[in-house]
């Protein structure tokens, strides 16, 4: 078989290493991204990073608003001559009619060891739930949510200091290498059905996922901080006022959940349901981030001060 011609579906910066790796080895006949979106205070219409890079490279680009029932786009994909399509953080579900267009279908680069963490935020939920190993799966896309058969899979140990930002960088490099391997050996790969009994979900994050649960263990609080580092970041409440917290780590201490145990040059030590966490940086709303000790002094916060305890509504609790 000659080298397959590839249509690439992806939008954010995470997908750029995958696009670059593919185009080094194969002909990219079409790049498909989300439409341009308003960004910043001026709401300037801005292309997704993959769209901007495709324009720089002079690659054919499509940015359909919808896919389902979009006969014009389906004809464009068919006319591109793509033998296979690759998706990487594209951000839209693909209708069955589209999946059938390339003769080798669609391959997806999913950043978990499927069937674990199916969904939009596998990197974040792996960290929140304290995983020490994750990985990348190259799968054949079907009409379900990350339910297609597995073609290639590789583990990646998670460094204890990594947040979702560092883990995403490592996984994007791994995904880029694995998709090239999959495309080079495409006719010889044997699809392996996923074992549904091991399936778990990784739904899209919401702002409330960043709220500190002081009642949980210190390790759970820090794991959540790592998982939401890119967005929505870690938020705590003090007398109803929102504060962004950063630089969280597990430390020694015991007290009532949310109770400030000490303030020193190393930061703010706050008790959790089990153990305590140290907070290095605090950012009040509409103000700049500052060292936790300096903020505490100015805000009159010291040992015995209690952060508010946030209780999730039933619909916010993830299984």
At 262, which CATH number? 3.10.25.10
Who's near 66: CB < 8 A, 6+ residues apart? none
Q: Is residue 317 part of a domain?
A: no
Contact between 174 and 156 under an 8 Å Cβ cutoff? The reply is yes
243, part of any domain: yes
In a domain, 151, yes or no: yes
Of 168, 198, 228, the one marking the end of a domain is: 198
100 and 232 share one domain = no
Are 264 and 134 part of one and the same domain?
A: no
| pLDDT of 315 | 45
pLDDT of residue 1: 64
Instruction: Give the other-Cβ count within 10 Å of 160's Cβ.
Output: 8
* Residue 189 shares a structural domain with residue 213: no
The answer to whether residue 13 is domain-embedded is: yes
Please indicate, yes or no, whether residues 194 and 211 belong to a single structural domain of this protein.
no
Rg of the Cα trace of the chain? Answer: 22
Structural domain harbouring 124: 6-198
Question: Domain end: 178, 198, 218, which one?
Answer: 198
- Which of 198, 226, 252 corresponds to the end of one domain? 198
CA distances from 192 to 99, 104, 176, 309 (A): 18, 16, 21, 45
Q: Are residues 213 and 179 in the same domain?
A: no
Q: Is residue 316 part of a domain?
A: no
Compute CA 221 distance to the chain's CA centroid, rounded to the nearest angstrom: 18
Question: What is the token pair recorded at 93?
Answer: 């579900």
Q: What tokens appear for 62 in the block?
A: 């499509």
Looking at the fold, whether 211 and 194 belong to one and the same domain comes out as: no
User: What is the 3-state composition of the chain as percent helix, strand, coil, each rounded to the nearest 5?
Assistant: 30, 30, 45
Residues 191 and 217 in one domain: no
Q: Give the per-residue pLDDT at 310.
A: 87
What is the DSSP secondary structure assignment for residue 215, as one 8-state letter? T
- Please check whether residue 318 lies inside any domain of the structure: no
pLDDT tens digits for range 265-307: 999 999 999 999 999 999 999 899 999 999 999 999 999 999 9
- Whole-angstrom distance, CA of residue 21 vs CA of residue 129: 31
What are the C-alpha distances in Å from 156 to residues 91, 119, 172, 183, 240?
Answer: 23, 19, 11, 21, 40
Q: Are residue 55 and residue 149 in the same domain, yes or no?
A: yes
CA atoms of 183 and 261, how far apart (whole Å): 55
DSSP structure string for 298-314: HHT--TT-BPPPP---G
- For residue 319, the model assigns a pLDDT of 39
The verdict on residue 14 lying in a domain is yes
Inside any domain, residue 1: no
Q: How far apart are the two ends of the chain, measured CA to CA in Å? A: 45
Specify the pLDDT at position 74. 97
Using left for φ > 0, alpha for ψ between -120 and 50, and beta otherwise, residue 279 falls in beta
Residues 193 and 218 in one domain: no
Sole residue written with tokens 């500052």: 290
Residues 72, 191, single domain; the answer is: yes
Q: What is the count of structural domains for the chain?
A: 2
165 C-beta neighbours (distance < 10 Å), count: 11
- pTM: predicted TM-score of the whole model, two decimal places: 0.94
CATH number of the domain encompassing residue 50: 3.40.50.170
215 and 112 in a common domain = no
Please identify every stretch of the chain with a pLDDT value under 50, giving residue numbers as ranges. Answer: 315-319
Is there a single domain that holds both residue 194 and residue 219? no
């Amino acid at each position: 078989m000659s080298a397959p011609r590839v249509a690439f579906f992806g939008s954010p910066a995470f997908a750029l290493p995958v696009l670059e790796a593919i185009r080094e080895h194969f002909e990219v006949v079409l790049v498909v991204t989300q439409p341009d979106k308003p960004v910043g205070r001026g709401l300037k219409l801005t292309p997704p990073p993959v769209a901007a890079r495709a324009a720089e490279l002079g690659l054919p680009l499509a940015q359909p608003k919808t896919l389902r029932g979009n006969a014009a786009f389906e004809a464009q994909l068919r006319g591109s001559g793509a033998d296979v399509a690759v998706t990487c953080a594209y951000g839209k579900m693909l209708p069955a009619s589209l999946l059938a267009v390339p003769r080798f279908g669609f391959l997806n680069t999913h950043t978990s060891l499927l069937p674990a963490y199916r969904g939009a935020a596998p990197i974040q939920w792996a960290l929140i739930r304290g995983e020490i190993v994750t990985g990348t799966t190259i799968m054949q896309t079907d009409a379900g949510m990350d339910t297609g058969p597995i073609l290639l899979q590789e583990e990646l140990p998670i460094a204890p200091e990594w947040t979702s930002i560092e883990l995403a960088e490592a996984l994007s490099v791994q995904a880029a290498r694995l998709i090239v391997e999959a495309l080079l050996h495409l006719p010889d790969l044997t699809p392996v059905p996923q074992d549904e009994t091991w399936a778990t979900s990784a739904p899209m994050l919401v702002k409330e996922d960043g709220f500190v649960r002081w009642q949980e263990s210190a390790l759970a609080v820090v794991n959540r901080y790592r998982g939401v580092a890119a967005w929505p970041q870690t938020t705590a409440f003090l007398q109803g006022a929102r504060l962004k917290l950063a630089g969280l780590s597990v430390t020694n201490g015991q007290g009532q959940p949310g109770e400030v145990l000490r303030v020193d040059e190393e930061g703010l030590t706050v008790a959790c349901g089990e153990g305590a966490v140290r907070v290095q940086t605090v950012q009040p709303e509409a103000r700049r981030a500052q060292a936790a000790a300096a903020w505490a002094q100015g805000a009159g916060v010291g040992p015995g001060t209690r952060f508010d305890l946030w209780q999730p509504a039933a619909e916010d609790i993830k299984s």
